[in-house]
A and B are shown apart, each in its own frame.
Chain A
């Protein structure tokens, strides 16, 4: 089965092991002191794409990323694990994009990669945690979307996913093309492959600018981003703020009062 899969992968600061220096006085992340990694959930999306390629060897997996030139490493991470192609969207005019501008830019690039059957990405990124991008890309493309997929199958132009919902799992189906966001409950991504690393570590990554994807500058970067951050406040919950509530009628009543307060 011929299948063109695009995986959206983002370079993010590794905030999984941090200390007090990680936030600047204004509340934003001090990126300079943090190593960069591929957004962990995007790796689950990549594995789903590679599993499809295992099943349908004629399928093509393309990694699409957006960011500064150093984000080319994200594309290489995809190649090292078996992706066929990769594109980095890099242009000064993309800087400062919120999720709306990012998803517009990504959608323009996906149109350039046409025909595309399936767009996969992580359910959310660990730096923003908005989980907007998959839905917004689907809107820009006018495609159906499945968010929070734990597993997916493609057969005869039909996609079946198992979606993580509150208190359970939902099984849903649609026809291609579709945008799917993948959770970290899906299988862990495979390791890098030695030959792929030896082959691709010096391969140049294809870089597309605003013109290459025929994007409207007004919808990209700062200009295309309606989101304005009013302020940022670091919130660190401390143990002393925790309260133990006994599982008694009185305890439950106290809790209810606190919630509706």
Chain B
């Protein structure tokens, strides 16, 4: 049998069986109207979900038989830069060609533009698998997500011009950061000037740290309002490489994700199209773009965690010391169990967030076609808030867990783990960026802390704690309820008048506690649906987070008492 990263992962297939998938598919497919005009559109829910499985099987085939075997060569060879252009590593070119031939570009785009109209859940499952095969390559592939910004905010003319090209396999990039504007995007300086004479915009300036910066279609954040200094002067533009005017000045030599070129771009009177309204570039469009990209990094993190666990488990099974495989030694077994638990917890939160995003974004899209019913409006509002609250947790904790898993993966390998011959050496380097780009973990905490202080996470926990569980999982649910109370007590403590000024200093611990407990509840639900796949992870994870929550509580209490001394 040919190797297949999808069919070999029963745990991954589980996420398509969630009860919310039916509602998501019904909304995405608009009562299956498209099946009358589009030859490949499904006719009912079963067919749509079956399509998800079939296409993910193609992704699994390409991951196992093309992308993963190329990963070592891509990491070694890397991209090069010459004459203002990027040349991908030969393996990267083969990977892109396979994805293009398989029609895996523009997966989420509607049928009318040549896309597959897939929901976020299978799209992120694909990203998860591709990342496990080569965490650098997933960046190039997943930048197709930029098309979502054009779809949501661009004019019909722009959609018709660019979206079919994305679906046909052209690559994308999001040109946001500059030498002096990293996390602080509102200070971006790239200048956009409107020419009355040519009736179009021109871009001038420099962008830095641009992933896949020599792509075919760029989304560019630029200052269109002269004299402004903050985010309100920035607009979103589309630069088409076919028009010319952008040069790649250099590419970075990085620690990891080496296959993905990180570029410095020089814009010299580059013609561009305004996407959406002026002044809304950062305030509205980048925020939307970043939330999608953050979920993409959460998927990338899940993929790295999966690859790390797989490599470690394989090595521990085959490496014998003291006359037996090292997996039989408690110290190693504990590491493996923790790795699997963190992987399953990352995925539980990632795919739950993806379902929320699907529900609210699809309803938002439907609202452009017809007036939503009052209950639909309420649903849209509810899930938009859930998605906004869960995205920084999924990205922040997913990234941290992937780094912990690659650390343990190298540890399981012992001295061999430092050798280039072993995949874990690359994983160790590739994982590092997941807690940094698309907003550092610290930025995720800033985005999440308000949901801790306003009681939203507590209310979500309360809702989850009331969900029915199997008898097996009842003890874990009780532990989670205890942890929830401890968390609420810490949030309340930090909100007392004399401590409010210190809440920023404690925010990482509060957000981590919230994320862990929410992950715990979701993992318990997964285990209720399938104890064989998730039961052990749920037990290990709840024990792990119980200790973590106690640690954070102890720290906060000590911080307060010492501070009061």
Contacts and interface: CB of A to CB of B under 8 A. Distances in A.
B62 A191 contact: yes
A198 B54 contact: yes
Given A194-B116, A201-B54, A17 B40 contact: no
Contacts of B42: 198
B116 A195 contact: yes
A197 interface: yes
B101 A193 contact: yes
Given A193-B101, A193-B102, A198 B58 contact: no
Contacts of B58: 191-194, 197
Contacts of A17: 1
A198 B102 contact: no
Question: Chain B CB within 10 Å — which of A35, A192, A194, A201 has the most?
Answer: A194
A31 interface: no
A199 B39 contact: yes
A14 interface: yes
Question: Chain B CB within 10 Å — which of A35, A190, A192, A195 has the most?
Answer: A195
Given A17-B1, A35-B1, A194 B103 contact: yes
Interface in A196-248: 196-199, 201
Interface string B83-117: 00000000000000010011110010000000010
Given A197-B55, A198-B54, A199-B39, A191 B101 contact: yes
A84 to B, nearest CB: 13
Nearest to B114: A195
A190 B99 CA distance: 10
B440 interface: no
Nearest to B167: A195
B51 interface: yes
Contacts of B388: none
A190 B101 contact: yes
A198 B42 CA distance: 8
A178 to B, nearest CB: 27
A74 to B, nearest CB: 15
Nearest to B118: A194
B55 to A, nearest CB: 5
B61 interface: yes
B55 A194 contact: yes
B51 A198 contact: yes
A174 B199 CA distance: 57
Contacts, number: 48
Question: Chain B CB within 10 Å — which of A191, A197, A199 has the most?
Answer: A191
A86 B143 CA distance: 36
Interface residues of B, number: 20
Contacts of A193: 58, 101-103
B103 to A, nearest CB: 4
B166 to A, nearest CB: 14
Given A199-B39, A201-B54, A194 B104 contact: yes
Chain A interface size, as a band, is: 10 to 19
Nearest to A192: B58
B1 A195 contact: no
Contact of B1 (A14, A191, A201): A14
Given A14-B1, A35-B1, A191-B61, A197 B101 contact: no
A197 B62 CA distance: 15
Nearest to A203: B39
A54 B1 CA distance: 29
Nearest to B66: A191
Interface string A164-201: 00000000000000000000000000111111111101
Given A198-B42, A198-B51, A198-B54, A192 B102 contact: yes
Contacts of B101: 190-191, 193
Contacts of B39: 199
Contacts of B103: 193-196
Contacts of A191: 58, 61-62, 66, 98, 101-102
A110 B418 CA distance: 58
Contacts of B41: 198
A260 B33 CA distance: 75
Contacts of B62: 191
A196 B102 CA distance: 9
Nearest to B61: A191
A14 B116 CA distance: 32
A198 B1 contact: no
B61 A195 contact: no
Interface in A1-21: 14, 17
Nearest to B55: A194
Contact of B40 (A14, A190, A195): A195
B61 A198 contact: no
Question: Chain B CB within 10 Å — which of A35, A196, A198, A199 has the most?
Answer: A198
A173 B67 CA distance: 37
A78 to B, nearest CB: 15
Nearest to B54: A197
A190 B98 CA distance: 7
B116 A192 contact: no
Contact of A198 (B66, B104, B116): B116
A218 to B, nearest CB: 40
Interface string A68-94: 000000000000000000000000000
A190 B62 CA distance: 10
A162 B107 CA distance: 39
Interface in B39-71: 39-42, 50-51, 54-55, 58, 61-62, 66
Contacts of A201: 50, 54
Given A191-B58, A194-B116, A199 B102 contact: no
B98 A198 contact: no
A48 to B, nearest CB: 15
A35 B1 CA distance: 8
A184 to B, nearest CB: 15
Contacts of B54: 194, 197-198, 201
Nearest to B42: A198
Nearest to B65: A191
Contacts of A196: 40, 103
A197 B1 CA distance: 20
Question: Chain A CB within 10 Å — which of B51, B61, B62, B66 has the most?
Answer: B51
B147 to A, nearest CB: 16
Nearest to B116: A194
Q: When A and B form their complex, which 9 residue pairs have the shortest distance between CB atoms, in order from nearest? A: A198-B40, A194-B103, A199-B40, A191-B102, A190-B101, A194-B55, A193-B103, A195-B40, A198-B51
Given A194-B58, A197-B55, A198-B40, 17 more contacts: A190-B98, A190-B102, A191-B61, A191-B62, A191-B66, A193-B58, A193-B102, A194-B102, A194-B107, A194-B116, A195-B103, A196-B40, A196-B103, A197-B51, A198-B42, A198-B54, A201-B50
22 contacts: A190-B102, A191-B61, A191-B62, A191-B102, A192-B58, A192-B61, A192-B102, A193-B58, A193-B102, A193-B103, A194-B55, A194-B58, A194-B102, A194-B107, A196-B103, A197-B51, A197-B58, A198-B54, A198-B55, A198-B116, A199-B39, A201-B54
